[in-house]
Structure formats: structure tokens, C-alpha cells
Structure 1
Amino acid sequence: MTETYEVIVVGGGAAGLSAALVLGRARRRTLVVDAGEPRNAPAAHMQGYLTRDGMSPAEFLTIGREEIARYGVELVRDTAVDVTKGEDFAVELASGRTVRARRLVITTGLKDELPAVPGVAERFGRDVLHCPYCHGWEVRDQAFGVLATGPLSVHQALMVSQWSKDVTFFLHEVAEDDLPDDDLRRLAAAGVHVVPGEVAGLVVEDDRLTGVRLAGGTPSEEGSVHDRQALFVAPRPIPQTALFERLGAEMTETPFGAYPVVDATGLTSVPGVWAAGNAMGFAEQVVNAAAGGYRAGATVNGELLMTDIDLAAGV
């Protein structure tokens, strides 16, 4: 038997739970489908969220799930693997269950593909970091490294110099000759030390990052290891947009992947489908995602309400 809801929220992170909270409080029969794979799971704390600064992502989600349950919102730990649109939306789950709804809010986020440098994945979210606004205060004034992975890495190296005056920019697989002269001047002006050569791995002692090792060297060879306490990297974002694509949503290419075209409320080009959080863009932090989910949830409720009133009124 297929169960029918007014709204299905796909994704149980900050955006999805926020949308569900608004919808539950609006007395909408709502289901959250949560795969349980939040992007910020490697981080011990989330920062910059007013009144929640320093809270662990796991605690944040636990409280969010408790809050939506108070308003009758259902949550299922499952993965949406397919969706079709007819008179309503049919969402197929990995468990084999099919659920239907009048409206969809998709908050499936993105995944971070880390550089293939030994040690980076193991230390990501601890002393291998990606966002100075998320982690810069916690490692302020330490010896920073920045791993070049593309043209935007220069911008990252310049940004982190706000939190430390000891920044080394490891070119890794980027040739120094490929850097524009203006970028080299900016790096010099910011006091960023540029080091050519491929990074072979990290040096970890007592469960702490202590250095970055260049290829072709050994610990005994002078210059092969640069003492560093924090390493910033730029993961390649992989947007989780399969459901949008299945529905034929208009997409737009960005330097950080393809995302659905949305209006100010998160409405996609597919009538009845909203996006929020990292499902609609790379730069949505937790606080932005929660706000976007709130906006989408409120818009969905209002749209459903006016649709039903117009139908009853015959207009």
C-alpha cells in the first residue's frame, strides 16, 4: 500500500529538518526521508550559528528530530532512489517502499571529494579543514598549510591569512608558472609562502598534525617536511542532484558543480518541487541551510493553502 502525504522532504539535515518543522507546525502531514549522511559529520563542532555556536552536528540533528516529532512529522531512515511526477509525486525508497505527496522539498546536499593525499581523509574535520569561517577561530595563529587543488586555491590561501600570519601555500600538482602574476603578488602581499612540489602525505604525531611531507623526501632530508599544525584543502563538491534530474529540472553549471535553477523561495523549474541547503548551492552553511528550509517550508504551506482555497472557490 502506497502512503500519501501532503509534503515529502528528502534529506534530514538542517535544511530538511527546518522545512519539516515549519510544515509540521502548519499542520501538514509531512514525511522526512533521511539517508543519515550529513555533509558535516566529520566535524566535531559547527560554528557561526547564533545560539548554536560550538554545538556538535550530531547533537543539532538529534534535537531537530525531536522537535519535528512534536508536531507529528514522520521521519524514516531511508534513501530516495527515484521519483516520478503525475498528478502528485511518487518517491521510491531504497527499502522498496513507495510514498506519494503533493509537494516535494529536496535537501539532499552534496558530498565532498577530498584530494587523494594520504592522511587527508583521515584527518578531515579535525586539523585538515576546508572553511576558515567554520574552523579558522579554533586554529587561529597556528602554522597553516593550504593545498592547491585548482585555480580557486589561491583565494583560499589569501582568505586563511586573516586567521594566521604563518601560511604556506603548497602548489602540489599546480605549476608555479601557471599562477598569474597578479596572484603571486597578492600572495606575497598577504605574507603567504609559496612552496612548489607535490605533497606526498601528512606527518601526524600523538594524533595531531605536525607537518606536510613533500614527494621525494624522507624525514631526515632537510626541506622534505614543512612543520604545519593545520592544513586547508578545497574538496571537490559532488552535488546530490539525481532527483532533480529525474524530474527534468533546469540546471545551471557553476565552478562547484551543477545545481537546480531556483527562485528566491527555492522553487525549481518543476512546479511543486523546492530545493534548499547544499542541494541548491555550494556555499550554504548550516545557518543558511536552516533559513532556506524555513523559507521553502513556509512557501510550500502557503502555496498548498491558496491552491485548495482557489479550488473550493472555483477560481
Structure 2
Amino acid sequence: MPGLWDVLIVGAGPAGLSAALTLGRSRRRVLLLDGGPPRNASVSAGHGLLTRDGISPQELKAAALADLEPYDVTVRADSAREVRRVGECFDVRVGDAWQRTRVLVFATGVRDILPPVPGLRERWGQGVFHCPYCDGWEHEGRALAVYGSGRSAHHLALTVRAWSPRVTLLCDGDPCLTPEQALDLERVGVAVRTQPVRRVSGGPLEDTPVCVAFVGAPPLSVDAVFIAPEQQGGSHLPAALGCALDGKGRVTVDGNQETSLPSVFAIGDMTGAPQYVVQAAAAGMHAAQVINTRLIHAAVHSMGAAFHKSPEDEGVRDPASRDE
């Protein structure tokens, strides 16, 4: 087994990359596992990130990886297969080898679970989107659709209506709207189609409008479809290790991004935090500062042999912030 890592980070999205950057700049020995393309890899451009509006996910990740090069951060294109606690440390199986670390950080995100409508997955990120704040402006004033039913679809339809007066809610055979919700949609001019959806075709992939075909009803042509898909955690390892989860299967953390297990942290979308790049990056930076403070105290009080909470690092704040 190679030497001991200070911190091993599982996942190289914005949260994991941000944590690696701060830890690297803190002169920590870090192993960052890059399990593959980002969740939003299919979109051509991301939006809402200050100074980087319109940057592609691939460009953003490449720039973040380049930022790590001056520091003692090893990036490995692989995933964690298994994790086990060994005394005060953790062993993580990467490929056919085990890596030992003092601190473990999960940054594995979430997976979107799309409805089984033919053509929907093929157009995910290319005509079918989940966030109007990310992709609404590019479709301003055009014919748009929202797929789903119930409270989440009602909320999304009202939100998308802010970008266009031409919005249709696709209930796919299951309206599941309360009278109050139906009245809300009627007030703002959102049309409702209750027929089952047979397939989705066209869109940017074919340089045509998105065509929604129904069972027993005429098709609908729109510029884009918005959907709020179900989600599941990006990795089974936190639960397998014993980290507490909430009722939706998300890893629970405290204000320092630490899980129910000491020395194990979780950051980014997997914790149920708002799913924005800046939010994930901020969580990564905050966790990294907490971890570095813990390691400093461990070195002072235990000659670096133990990793534990000290009263001083409870509620660690940005050193640049001022007391109220």
C-alpha cells in the first residue's frame, strides 16, 4: 500500500475540485478520484456562474484540473470500489489497489432518474432540461413544455412561465393536480395536456423543434422541455460505510459538512444542498478549511497520529470574515 494520504476525495465535480484546490494550497497531500464526465456533460453550456456564464462543463472541469497542477494533489481517473475503516484511518480500494487516508471526503453527486419515455434520455441536455435558471433565457418567449404531474410539476410550470407565455404542462396520463393548482396554471395561461406521452423526438440533436407525440392526440411542437426528474445518490459507499442518510437517501451532514461518522465528509449535491455549481464549490472550500484545521490540531495535540474534533474548530469560519 502506498504512503498515507492526508485527504482522499471521491468525486471530481465542482465540490470535489474545490476541496482539492483549498487542501492543496494548504500543503496537504491529496488524492482526488475522477470517476468520469460530470452529471451535466450533455449540455453545451452552463449558465449563472459569475465570470464564466456560457462555459461548457468540459471547459470548466479542464480549467479546474489545471488549477490543481502546482499543488500536491494527485488526480486519478478512477472510482472508489470499497471503503473500510482501519483504526483512525480509512482504506479505499481504487482499481486493484488500496489507498489509505486520514480523512475521507465524498463528492459523488446525484444521478437523474428520467421517466421511461422513448427519446427523453437521448435529448437530455439537448432540448430537454431540468433547470430554467440555467437554460430558460436561451428559450425566452418560445413554445415550451413542462413534463410531470403533482406539486413539483405545478411549481416548475409556474417558474418556466416567467420566461415565456407559451407553456404547456404534459401530465402523461396522470394529471394529479389539485383544483387550486389547476386554477393557478389557468390564471397564468399554462395549457395542460393530460394524454399519455408516446415519445419525444427532434430537438438540437436533429436541428428541429422538439416534437412530443401523444397516444390518441395530435403532437405538440416546442422549443424545449423542462422536467424535474427523480434523483438518487451517486455512490453506495457512504451508506455502506455507515453514514446516516435522510428520508430521501441523501447523506446527512452538519454545518461543517461532516457526516455522522467522524473524519468522513460529504459535499455537493449528494447532501441535498441547492444544486448550483457555486454552492457545491463553496461547500468544498468550507469542508477543506475545516479538515485542515482539524489536521493542524491533531498534529499539535497528538503528534499527527489521531484525527478528532477539538473545541476550537467547532463552527469553523472563513478567516477573512468579521465577527458581527
TM-score, scaled relative to structure 2? 0.89
Question: Aligned equivalents of 2:201 and 2:234: distance in 1?
Answer: 33
Please state whether the residue corresponding to 1:279 is helix, strand or coil: helix
How far has the Cα of 1:72 moved from its partner?
A: 2.0
Question: Aligned equivalents of 1:181 and 1:116: distance in 2?
Answer: 28
CA contact (8 A) 2:46 2:54 kept: yes
Question: CA-to-partner distance for each residue in 1:33-75, whole Å, 9 max, x for gaps?
Answer: 1111311111111111101111110011111111112112100
How far has the Cα of 1:89 moved from its partner?
A: 0.6
Question: CA-to-partner distance for each residue in 1:228-287, whole Å, 9 max, x for gaps?
Answer: 11111122211124121122111111xxx3111111221111000111111211632111
Q: What residue number does 2:202 align with? A: 204
Matched, 1:269 2:256: no
Q: 1:166 to 1:18 in 2, by over 3 A?
A: same
Please state whether the residue corresponding to 1:152 is helix, strand or coil: helix
Question: CA-to-partner distance for each residue in 1:100-137, whole Å, 9 max, x for gaps?
Answer: 10001110011111111122111111211111011111
Q: What residue number does 2:250 align with? A: 259
Amino acid across the alignment from 2:129: L
Gaps of 5+ in 2: 311-324
Matched, 1:311 2:311: no
Task: List aligned pairs for 1:90-169, cutoff 5 A.
Answer: 90-93=91-94, 95-169=95-169
CA contact (8 A) 2:127 2:210 kept: no
Amino acid across the alignment from 1:273: V
Q: What residue number does 1:221 align with? A: none
How far has the Cα of 1:146 moved from its partner?
A: 0.8
Question: CA-to-partner distance for each residue in 1:152-188, whole Å, 9 max, x for gaps?
Answer: 111111111111110001110313xx31111011111
Q: What residue number does 1:287 align with? A: 278
How far has the Cα of 1:202 moved from its partner?
A: 2.2
Question: Aligned equivalents of 1:306 and 1:33: distance in 2?
Answer: 26
Question: CA-to-partner distance for each residue in 1:182-237, whole Å, 9 max, x for gaps?
Answer: 101111122111111111112427423343111135xxxxxx11221111112221
Q: What residue number does 1:231 align with? A: 225
Please state whether the residue corresponding to 1:238 is helix, strand or coil: strand
How far has the Cα of 1:2 moved from its partner?
A: 3.6
CA contact (8 A) 2:195 2:216 kept: no
Question: Aligned equivalents of 1:173 and 1:5: distance in 2?
Answer: 53
Matched, 1:33 2:27: no
Question: Aligned equivalents of 2:82 and 2:38: distance in 1?
Answer: 20
Please state whether the residue corresponding to 2:181 is helix, strand or coil: helix
Task: List aligned pairs for 1:14-53, cutoff 5 A.
Answer: 14-53=14-53
Q: What residue number does 2:72 align with? A: 72
Q: What residue number does 1:89 align with? A: 90
CA contact (8 A) 2:11 2:32 kept: yes
TM-score, scaled relative to structure 1? 0.92
Could you list the runs of 4 or more consecutive aligned residues of structure 1 that deviate by over 3 angstroms after TM superposition?
Answer: 312-315
Gaps of 5+ in 1: 218-223
Q: What residue number does 1:220 align with? A: none
Please state whether the residue corresponding to 1:182 is helix, strand or coil: helix
Amino acid across the alignment from 2:240: R
Please state whether the residue corresponding to 1:90 is helix, strand or coil: strand
The count of aligned residue pairs is: 303
Which of 232, 238, 241 lines up with 1:244 in the alignment? 238
CA contact (8 A) 1:115 1:149 kept: no
CA contact (8 A) 2:150 2:177 kept: no
Which of 152, 174, 178 lines up with 1:180 in the alignment? 178
Question: Aligned equivalents of 2:303 and 2:30: distance in 1?
Answer: 23
Question: Aligned equivalents of 2:298 and 2:4: distance in 1?
Answer: 18
RMSD between aligned alpha carbons?
1.8
Q: 1:6 to 1:203 in 2, by over 3 A?
A: closer
CA contact (8 A) 2:149 2:177 kept: no
Question: CA-to-partner distance for each residue in 1:60-101, whole Å, 9 max, x for gaps?
Answer: 1111111112112100011101101122010012x2111010
Amino acid across the alignment from 1:92: R
Q: What residue number does 2:192 align with? A: 194
Greater Cα offset, 185-194 or 6-15:
185-194
Matched, 1:302 2:300: no
CA contact (8 A) 2:29 2:72 kept: yes
- Report sequence identity in percent: 36
